[in-house]
Chains A and B, each alone.
Chain A
Amino acid sequence: MSVVRNWSGGRVVSLLVLLLAVVVSVFPFLWMLVGMTLNPNDVLRGILTPGKEFVSNWEKATRNYNLLLFFWNSIKIALLTVFFGLIVNSIAAYGFEKYPSKARDRVFGILLLTLIIPQIAIVIPMFRMFAFFKLLDTHAAIILPSIMSVFIIFFMRQNFKMFPTEIMEAARVDGAGEFYTFLRIVSPSMQATYASGAIYLFIGQWNSYLWPLITILTDAGKTLPIAMASMMNAYTIEYGALMVIVCISVLPVLVLFLSMQKQFVAGLLGSVK
């Protein structure tokens, strides 16, 4: 795969370039970690040696800034989105792929078209709709619009393509109902796909900013991104506590990434080909 070169000068240069990229990429993470232990002024100045303020910053973050509540809000919203999203999107993808019909293909075509619509175009009518139903400032307002994802349906549909229809037909011959087939035969073998879909949905919801910013009006309902942005608007910015919150908000995604790299990347790439 890699063409071997004996030009050691070139190799050194390429290694240096890569190392530079590594340093630039990783540095802010290290700084975040150290920042958790420093007082606000030192964080700003960019001191890189760990300090002794971790406990005090942690206390500020959890007491003054309600870190644990916001973390719970974010987790709850993200997990519920994944739960319902997997169900709704996977069965939709199954229906589009395994039950071919011209009408459904046209519908799918329309769905794909909506991929180019930026979120900002939808938020205003959605805001007024939720206001009308008195559902503003609820977590349901954040979860509901995120459940159905055309991208996930597309991604899962590509993966369902690879599932052999013969098995489905064999199951039909054996007398299995369609839904039973989906649930007990097809799904279990698509675990990697589900994992990727789950990761994609989770990260999308975990990092979501614009829509929660618009819908959440009171402090108790905030998610981590909103809380972090609010902290940057405060009269005096508590940089140390901010670093704690930033680290906590990066943690779940980092854990997901490190433990499930393949599915993570697959989820992001969708179907490149």
Chain B
Amino acid sequence: MEKRGTYQQYLNRFGWKCVAPSMVLFCVFMLYPILSSLYYVTRRWKGMTNTFIGLGNFVRMAHDQVFQAAIGHNFLFMFIQVPLMIFLALILAVLLNQGIRHFRGPIRLAIFLPSVTSLVVVSVLFRVLLQANGMLNNVLLGAHLISTPIGWLNDSGWAKVTIILAMTWRWTGYNMVFFLVGLQSIDTEIYEAAEVDGASKVRQFFNITIPLLVPVILFSAVTSTSGTMQLFDEPNILTWQGGPANATMTAALYIYRQAFFVNADFGYATAMSYIVVLISGIFAVVQMRLLGDRRSK
């Protein structure tokens, strides 16, 4: 009896030893920053000095229209780009799944290719392509689809479109592969039965494919929305610091600017990051609930 006890303890201790290195790193690089952020959030920083201002940073946020607009942009990208991309990825996956056997591999490879690029590369490439006198405008002008060059990077409205374009290009193939895996686990007999019942292809898509793919779609949605809340590389590089005139400013970029540019106000930046975490958390919980509900069905 005692012997087993100590053996269990021995195993348990070994378990802790296994986990220890990662826990040390976790405490230093995740736990400590989270805890020390509590120190920053109630202070206002200017240069090397800081003063205690209680909840002043949060009050300031309530009046800060740039921050609110930035969050608004995150939401805009989330609610437009994510559904658009998922829809595209879904269509492509379905078409690919039903298509000609031979070409499936190369086509899947080609469409997945953008996912190997970094967000920096995407931003750099698109920024060059979408200059006012750059390739895309030249092509559109040449094909007489437009008469004056589009200000992809200069115009507040088009700049948002530019971000959406870049993100869609980068992530559609990635999500398509998710969906392909999901599609391949659907039993063909279901389709054949529906075929016999006289259901059209479109009806099959909406009534069979989509409901069965919901777990994968939701997983895609969860990862994509958390990605959009963190949007930084593209507005930083592609539209140059959230331009033009803050039209593509995002929460993460604004926080970075407040912390490392003009005012170096770490307190305000930390307070804003709390709000971003809160929003991310709410979205995650909502989506988990949806995912959980579907699962239990």
Contact = CB atoms under 8 A, between A and B. Distances in A.
Interface residues of A, number: 84
A46 B99 CA distance: 33
Contact of A116 (B16, B135, B172, B284): B284
Contact of B237 (A87, A214, A232): A232
B15 interface: yes
Interface stretch (A23-31, A52-60, A62-70): A23-31
B247 to A, nearest CB: 18
B116 interface: yes
B284 A92 contact: no
B118 A116 contact: no
A178 B21 contact: no
Interface in B260-297: 260, 266, 269-270, 273-274, 276-277, 280-281, 284
Nearest to B38: A125
Contacts of A7: 201
A249 B118 contact: yes
A190 interface: no
* Chain B contact residues, majority secondary structure: helix
B129 A120 contact: no
Interface string A254-271: 100100010001001100
A229 interface: yes
B125 A94 contact: no
B26 interface: yes
Nearest to A32: B125
A25 B236 contact: no
B118 A225 contact: yes
A35 B280 CA distance: 39
Contacts of B54: none
B17 to A, nearest CB: 7
Contacts, number: 253
Interface in A201-236: 203, 206-207, 209-210, 214, 225, 228-229, 232
Given A10-B201, A118-B252, A207-B119, A18 B17 contact: no
B224 to A, nearest CB: 13
A17 B281 CA distance: 37
B219 interface: yes
Contacts of A104: 15-16, 19
A113 to B, nearest CB: 9
A149 to B, nearest CB: 9
A37 interface: no
Interface string A232-246: 100000010010001
A87 B32 CA distance: 23
A229 B122 CA distance: 11
* Chain A contact residues, majority secondary structure: helix
A36 interface: no
B124 interface: yes
A24 B169 contact: yes
A272 B180 CA distance: 12
B191 A3 contact: yes
A250 B114 CA distance: 10
A246 B34 CA distance: 35
B246 interface: no
Contact of B128 (A43, A144, A153, A210): A43
Contact of B277 (A18, A87, A121, A145): A121
B269 A124 contact: yes
Interface in A133-165: 144-145, 147-148, 153
Given A3-B191, A18-B99, A228-B120, A239 B128 contact: yes
A190 B111 CA distance: 30
Interface in A74-131: 87-89, 91-92, 94-96, 98-99, 101, 104, 107, 111, 114, 116-129
Contacts of A88: 21-22, 25
Given A25-B114, A145-B29, A207 B14 contact: no
B154 interface: no
A209 B37 contact: no
In order of increasing CB-CB distance, the 6 nearest A-B pairs are: A46-B135, A95-B18, A99-B15, A207-B118, A125-B33, A92-B22
Interface of A: 1-3, 5, 7, 10-11, 14-15, 17-18, 21-22, 24-26, 28-29, 31-32, 43-46, 87-89, 91-92, 94-96, 98-99, 101, 104, 107, 111, 114, 116-129, 144-145, 147-148, 153, 178-179, 182, 203, 206-207, 209-210, 214, 225, 228-229, 232, 239, 242, 246, 249-250, 253-254, 257, 261, 265, 268-269, 272
Given A17-B91, A269-B181, 4 more contacts: A18-B92, A21-B111, A101-B15, A121-B273
25 contacts: A1-B188, A7-B201, A18-B92, A18-B96, A18-B107, A25-B114, A25-B173, A26-B110, A29-B113, A91-B19, A92-B22, A99-B11, A99-B15, A107-B23, A116-B284, A118-B226, A124-B37, A144-B28, A209-B232, A210-B232, A242-B124, A249-B121, A253-B117, A261-B109, A265-B177
